[in-house]
Amino acid sequence: MERCIITVVGKDKVGIIANVCTYLADNQINILDISQTIVQDFFNMMMIVDVVKVDKPFETVVSELKKLGEDIGVNVRLQHEDIFNRMHRI
């Protein structure tokens, strides 16, 4: 298992989750956990995903997700979970 974090932030609209999840399914990225809130019309989602089966290079997935976000008007970011583990856990 190789866990990564996807964050999606932007103005709420119909189909954000569907778009992101379709991309993940198409690329064999498994979703382990999702949490999502709407704060003052702003859509905030965090997903923990497993990227072990994806066959594209990591930077391609990062840029494709970014592009997908731009197309639907939100900010999508994929990062390896280690940065959060290191920063916030002793």
Q: Which residues bind another protein (CB under 8 A)?
A: 5, 7, 33, 35, 37, 44, 46, 48, 58-59, 62, 77-88, 90
The CA radius of gyration of the chain, in Å to the nearest whole number, is 13
Cβ nearer to another protein, comparing 26 with 35: 35
Beta bridge partners of 18: none
58: nearest Cα among 77, 39, 72, 44:
77
Q: In whole angstroms, how close is the CB of 64 to another protein at the nearest point?
A: 12
**Tokens matching residue 58:** 């990591």
Cβ nearer to another protein, comparing 28 with 85: 85
